[in-house]
Amino acid sequence: MASYLLASPTFLGAILFSFLALFLLPQPALAISRHYKFNIELQNVTRLCHTKSIVTVNGKFPGPRIVAREGDRLIIKVVNHVPNNISIHWHGIRQLRSGWFDGPGYITQCPIQTNQIYVYNYTIVGQRGTLFWHAHISWLRATVYGPIVILPKLGVPYPFTKPDKEIPPILFGEWFNTDTEAVISQALQTGGGPNVSDAYTINGLPGPLYNCSSDKGTFDNTTVAGILQYKSPFKTPALPQFKPSLPALNDTAFAFNFTSTLRSLASPQYPANVPQTVDKNLFFTIGLGTNPCPKNQTCQGPNNSTKFAASDGRLPNQKLPPPPADLPKC
Specify the stretch interacting with Cu ion by CB under 5 A; choose among 7-15, 82-90, 122-130, 270-278. Answer: 82-90
- Count of chain residues binding Cu ion (CB under 5 A): 2
Minimum CB distance to Cu ion, residue 108 (Å): 12
Minimum CB distance to Cu ion, residue 147 (Å): 13
Nearest CA among 178, 214, 216 for reference residue 194: 178
Q: 69 or 89, CB closer to Cu ion?
A: 89
Q: 35 or 89, CB closer to Cu ion?
A: 89
Minimum CB distance to Cu ion, residue 244 (Å): 29
Q: 32 or 55, CB closer to Cu ion?
A: 55
CA 193 to chain CA mean position, Å? 21
Minimum CB distance to Cu ion, residue 62 (Å): 14
Specify the stretch interacting with Cu ion by CB under 5 A; choose among 10-18, 84-92, 112-120, 267-275. Answer: 84-92
89 binding Cu ion? (CB under 5 A): yes
Cis ω before 147 (30° cut-off from 0): no
Q: 65 or 89, CB closer to Cu ion?
A: 89
Q: 77 or 91, CB closer to Cu ion?
A: 91
Our CA angle for 319, 324, 325, nearest 5°, is: 130
Nearest CA among 55, 7, 3 for reference residue 30: 3
Q: 69 or 136, CB closer to Cu ion?
A: 136
Specify the stretch interacting with Cu ion by CB under 5 A; choose among 5-13, 83-91, 173-181, 304-312. Answer: 83-91
Choice from 77, 91, 125, 205 touching Cu ion (CB under 5 A): 91
Which stretches of 194-284 are assigned E, i.e. beta strand?
199-202
CA distance 233 to 214: 38
* CB-based burial label for 67 (10 Å; 0-12, 13-18, 19+): buried
Minimum CB distance to Cu ion, residue 184 (Å): 16
CA distance 295 to 194: 22
Specify the stretch interacting with Cu ion by CB under 5 A; choose among 28-36, 86-94, 160-168, 263-271. Answer: 86-94
Specify the stretch interacting with Cu ion by CB under 5 A; choose among 87-95, 165-173, 217-225, 256-264. Answer: 87-95
Residue 224 three-state SS: coil
Which is it for strands 145-151 and 129-135: parallel, antiparallel or unpaired?
Answer: antiparallel
Minimum CB distance to Cu ion, residue 119 (Å): 19
Residue 80 three-state SS: strand
CA distance 93 to 73: 12
CA distance 197 to 194: 9
Written as one letter, the residue type at 123 is T
Which is it for strands 2-4 and 33-47: parallel, antiparallel or unpaired?
Answer: parallel
Specify the stretch interacting with Cu ion by CB under 5 A; choose among 33-41, 89-97, 277-285, 294-302. Answer: 89-97
Helix (H) or strand (E) holding 33: strand 33-47
Q: 92 or 302, CB closer to Cu ion?
A: 92
Site string for Cu ion, 203-242 (x = CB under 5 A): ----------------------------------------
Minimum CB distance to Cu ion, residue 142 (Å): 13
Nearest CA among 204, 125, 128, 120 for reference residue 159: 128
Query: Given the rule CB under 5 A, which residues bind Cu ion?
Result: 89, 91
